[in-house]
Amino acid sequence: MGRPYRLVYPIFLQPGTTSLLYEVGLCVFLYVTVLAIEFSPAALEWLGMKKLRNTVHKLTLALTVFGVVLSTLHQSSLGALYIAAPSKMHPLWYSPYLAVLFFVSSIPAGLSMVIFEGTLAHKAWHHMMDKTHRDESEGVILGFARGASIALAAYFCVKLVAVAYDNNWHYLATGWGAWWLVEVLGFVALPSLLYAIGSREKNITLIKWTSALTVFGIILNRFNVSMVAFNWQLPADQRYFPSFLEIMFSIFVVTLGVTVYRFIVSRMPIFFEHPEYKDAH
């Protein structure tokens, strides 16, 4: 899974249909394909391929529904991977509800990432956005903030249920419990409250800062599950930590993504409607 160029193996050459990783790989493969097709109308407008663009545009609704279903499956499957390792993960993070936790947490993560990335995009490419895009921005942010607040509240409740399921409350009095409380109170409960306040008061600045806090909190949770709380009983020198090359490669991938994004939005009709398709969206 860490080598995307080998994705073809589990899908076509060596399918392991009883494996959760196969399901994750299949969902990622199909999801990326769906996203590429969904994005293609903008590229086709830029290339002037009107007939093909109109054909693909008719598939938008079906592709959107299919994409939502796929994201639901691969998020829950990623959490389900760790259900097979109850003896390796700290009890505060391990739960038979891990699939549910990963899925529920992905909802506010997605909403918050849209707000966060949209904020950065408005700062850098405000001059390229048409009036419709600018006028609708605030309404979209407020709507996403309300949805993220509710989703975070649901995630917080499921986290508590997961601890109560195995009656692991006594771990909260330990150092691991303190770290769990930092994650749950500081990056789940607090953002939920801040989103609610921001949407009620229509405080766009507060919502934007809260989106960054939420995104960081979900990233923190994934690191806690996969590294910090995994093999927690082993000495520190026997536990996994990314190497320097792995860290640098991750930075390279993010940098490459930003570079490609800059190329696309600077040339294609992303933040504005193409003059020839103003009535076609």
pLDDT digits (tens, 9 = 90+) for 170-223: 999 999 999 999 999 999 999 999 999 999 999 999 999 999 999 999 999 999
Q: Rounded to whole angstroms, how far apart are CA atoms 134 and 141?
A: 11
Residue 209 lies in a domain: yes
Nearest-CA neighbor of 217 among 239, 233, 195, 241? Answer: 195
Q: Could you tell me if residue 261 is inside a domain?
A: no
**What confidence score (pLDDT) does residue 78 get?**
83
pLDDT of residue 279: 65
Into how many domains does the chain fold? 1
Q: Kindly state whether residue 254 falls inside one of the protein's structural domains.
A: no
Burial of 23 (0-12, 13-18, 19+ CB in 10 A): buried
Cα separations (Å) of 254 from 129, 177, 225, 247?
A: 24, 32, 22, 11
Angle at 189 between CA 122 and CA 112, to 5 degrees: 20
Angle subtended by helix axes 204-223 and 175-184, to nearest 10: 140
In a domain, 229, yes or no: yes
In a domain, 53, yes or no: no
Low-confidence ranges of the chain (pLDDT < 70): 1-4, 279-281
Alpha-helix runs per DSSP H in the chain: 8, 20-47, 50-57, 60-80, 98-125, 131-165, 175-184, 190-201, 204-223, 244-267
Range of the domain at 233: 87-241
Alpha carbon distance 226, 46 (integer Å): 41
Structure tokens at 23: 């399901």
Look at residue 210 in the predicted model and tell me its pLDDT.
Answer: 97
Q: Residue 172 domain-assigned?
A: yes
Model pLDDT, residue 2: 59
Which pLDDT belongs to residue 259? 94
Output the pLDDT for position 23.
78
Look at residue 9 and tell me if it is in a domain. no
Q: What is the pLDDT of residue 214?
A: 97
Task: Tell me what pLDDT residue 125 has.
Answer: 87
Backbone angles phi, psi at 89, to 5 degrees: -105, 145
SS3 203: coil
* 106 CB-contact burial (10 Å; exposed 0-12 / middle 13-18 / buried 19+): buried
Alpha carbon dihedral 131, 134, 140, 145, in 10-degree steps, equals -170
52 lies in some domain: no
